[in-house]
Amino acid sequence: MSLVALSRKKSPWLLHFETGGCNGCAIEVWACLTPVYDVERFGMVNTGNPKHADVLIVTGCVNARSGRVLRNLYSQMPEPKVVIAVGVCACTGGIFHDSYNLAPGADRAIPVDIYIPNCAARPEAIIDSVLHAVDLLEEKGRSYDARRS
Amino acid sequence: MIGKTVIPFGPQHAVFPEPFHWRLVMEEERVLDAIPGIGYMHRGIEQLATRMEFAKTLFLAERVCGICSFMHALAYAESLEKLMDVEVPPRAKYLRTIWAELARLQSHLLWIGLAADAFGFESLFMQAWRVREYVMDMVEFTEGGRVMTSSVTIGGVRRDLHEEAIEFLLENLDKLEVGFEEVYQVFTEDPLIKHRTVGVGILSKEDSIRLGAVGPTLRGSGVAQDMRMLGYAAYGELEFQPVVEDSCDSYARMVVRLKECFQSINLIRQAIKKLPDGDVLVKVRGKPEGEVVTRIEQPRGELLYYIKANGTKSLERFRIRTPTLSNLPPLMHMIKGACLADVPVITLSIDTCIACTER
Ligand code: SF4
C-alpha cells in the first residue's frame, strides 16, 4: 500500500458544512468530534479547509444560495472524496420538503454517497457512516490510482 | 495611502457550525464596515406554518433551531394556550421549567466550547463539550431524545418524571456542577482568555438600549432584563435574579453566560424540590382564534412569537423574532473598528444562531 493510500485509510479529514436546516444535526456532528463520541480515535480531524478534506459532511436542507456554496466546496476538494448527507433534511428535505425555496435533498446539488436519515441523526449513526466512508474512500482511491497510473 | 480591501468572512468557517457571512471592509488591520450577508439558511417556515395544521406546526416551530428547540416549542405552546384559554396543570409547568433550564445549560455549554475554540484553546473546547454530555444524558433520559424531544405539547407536556428520573437528574447535576466548576475557573482566571476578551467589542449601556440588544448581550452591558422575570411556566414561583455584569465587553458577556449555568443548575434543583403532584396534560379542543404575542427568554435572549389565527385549521400569520436578529445591529456596531483577528471572538460573543434568524 502506498503512503497516500495508507493515509487515506488511517486519517481521513472531515469537512462539515451546514446548508440550512435547524442546526440540530450540525451540533450532533460536532458532538461526534468531542471526547464522549470521539471520532478522532479513527484519525479523523475536523478541518475548515476544503482542499485538505477527504470526507464532506452535509447537514440541513439545500436552498439556491447555500447550494452554490456547497458545489463550490465540493469542487475544491481533491479526488477521491466521499459525501455524507446527515439528517433527513439533507436526504430528502424532511419537514421542510414542500417549502417554496428548497431542493429536496443535498443530492440535487452534489453527488451523495451515504445517507443517514433521522431527525436529528444520532451520533452513533454518524460514527457508523464515517466508518463506511473510510471503506468507500479506500475503494475510490484504488480506482483513482489505477486510472492515474 | 493604502486603499480599502473587502474580505469575505464565511459562509463556511471552521469556528461556526453555521453558514455565517460577513463582508468586511478593511483598512490595513482595522474593520471599517461590516456587511452581513444572510439567506443561506432560509427555509420559509413562516409561510409553511400557514399551510400546516396548527397542531403540527408545533413540530415545525421546534425545528426553527436545533440548539434551543425546546424553547421554540415552549413559546408556541404557550401562545396557543393563551389563545385557546387552556390552563396548564401545575406539574406540567414545573416540568417545562426543568427542561427549559436543561436546554439553556446545553446551549450555554455549547457556546462556551465554541468560544474556547475561537481563542484557539482546543483542550478547553473538548472539556466544555465533555461536561455538556452530562446535560445531554439528562435530556435523553427524561425527554427521550437528544435534540428533537417534542416533549412539550399544547395543554401540557407529553412525559412525566418518575422517581428514577428525578434521582438520575439530581445525581447528574452534582457531577455537572463539579465538572463545570473546573471549566469556569479556567475561563475566569486564564490570562490568555482575558487577553482576548477584556476590552474587546465594547457595547456601552446606552448603545445596547438604543440598538435593541437582548439577553446576555444586554445583561453584559449592565441592564438587568430577563424575560423569565415575567413568570411564564413556573418561573414566577422560583427564586432568582438576572445575572448582570457591567464591564460592557466580550468578557462580561462571557461571564454572564458562565454564571447563568450555575443559576440554571440552581433553578432545576429548586423546581425538583417544589415539584407538585398531579396530571401533566389536559385535553384541548377547538380551533384557535385571535391574536397573541408571547415573549420568553431563550439562551440567547428574548424570543418573540406573534400568532394570528382565524378559527380554521391552520394559522393565518406566524411571525417569529429571534434574539440573534435583535443582536445583529449591536454586533455591527461592535465590529466597526475592531482588528480582523478579533472578528470571530466578537461575533461569537453575541452567540449567533443563524438558523433562528433566517428561519
Ligand atoms: S434533520 Fe431535523 S435535526 Fe437535522 S437539520 Fe433537519 S430539522 Fe434539524
Distance CA B304, CA A126 (A): 34
β-strands B301-310, A62-63: how paired? unpaired
ipTM above 0.95, yes or no: no
For residues B80-99, average pLDDT:
86
**CATH of B46-358 given 1.10.420.10, 3.80.10.10, 1.10.645.10, 1.10.150.120:** 1.10.645.10
Question: With contacts defined as CB-CB under 8 Å, which chain A residues touch B65?
Answer: 22-23
Of A29, A31, A101, the CB nearest to B129: A31
Pocket test for ligand 1, best of A89, A92, A96, A116 (most atoms within 8 A of CB): A89
User: Cβ(A33) to ligand 1 under 6 A?
Assistant: no
Distance CA B59, CA B56 (A): 6
Cell digits of residue B279? 396530571
The CATH code of the domain at A3-144 is: 3.40.50.12280
Give the amino acid at B337.
G
Q: What is the pLDDT along chain A (149 residues), one digit of tens a residue?
A: 677 777 777 778 888 888 877 888 888 888 888 888 888 888 888 887 888 888 888 888 888 888 888 888 888 888 888 899 888 888 888 888 888 888 787 888 888 888 888 887 888 888 888 888 888 888 887 887 788 77
Q: pLDDT tens digit string along B144-159?
A: 888 888 888 888 888 8
Question: With contacts defined as CB-CB under 8 Å, which chain B residues touch A125?
Answer: none
DSSP B17: S
> Is the predicted pLDDT of residue B249 greater than 70, yes or no?
yes
Within 13 Å of residue B116, how many CA atoms lie on the same side as its CB?
A: 22
> Exposed, middle or buried by CB within 10 Å (0-12, 13-18, 19+), for B44?
middle
Give me the helix-helix angle, B163-189 and B122-143, nearest 10°. Answer: 160
Q: In chain A, what percentage of residues exceed pLDDT 90?
A: 0
Supply the pLDDT for residue A81: 86
* Residue extents of the structural domains in chain B: 46-358
Find, in chain B, the residue whose alpha carbon is nearest to that of A64: B40
Q: pLDDT tens digit string along B118-138?
A: 777 788 888 888 888 888 888
A26 touches chain B (CB under 8 A): yes
> Is the predicted pLDDT of residue B29 greater than 70, yes or no?
yes
Q: Give the confidence band of B1 by pLDDT, cuts at 50, 70, 90.
A: low
β-strands A55-59, A13-18: how paired? parallel
The pTM of this model reads: 0.86
Of B51, B65, B130, the CB nearest to A23: B65
Distance CA B63, CA B44 (A): 12
A53 touches chain B (CB under 8 A): no
* Residue extents of the structural domains in chain A: 3-144
Q: Which of residues 89-118 of A touch B (CB under 8 A)?
A: 95-96, 98-102
End-to-end Cα spacing for chain B: 43
Pocket test for ligand 1, best of A61, A66, A97, A119 (most atoms within 8 A of CB): A119
For residues B165-170, average pLDDT:
86
Q: Do A21 and B44 touch (CB under 8 A)?
A: no
Helices (H) and strands (E) in chain B, counts: 13, 8
Distance (angstroms) between ligand 1 centre and the Cα of B66 equals 7
Contact criterion met (CB below 8 Å) for B280 and B16: no
Distance CA B264, CA B268 (A): 6
Q: Is B338 helix (H, G, I), strand (E, B) or coil?
A: coil
> Is the predicted pLDDT of residue B278 greater than 70, yes or no?
yes
List the strands of the sheet with A13-18, edge to edge: A45-47, A13-18, A55-59, A82-86, A114-116
Pocket test for ligand 1, best of A17, A18, A19, A25 (most atoms within 8 A of CB): A25
Distance CA B146, CA B169 (A): 15
User: Cβ(B41) to ligand 1 under 6 A?
Assistant: no
Picking from B43, B51, B111, B131 by the largest number of A CB atoms within 10 A of its own CB, the best residue to mutate is B43
Distance (angstroms) between ligand 1 centre and the Cα of A89 equals 6
Q: Do A36 and B133 touch (CB under 8 A)?
A: yes
Q: Residue B205: phi, psi to the nearest 5?
A: -60, -45
Q: Do A16 and B17 touch (CB under 8 A)?
A: yes
Supply the pLDDT for residue B189: 83
Of B40, B51, B66, the CB nearest to A23: B66
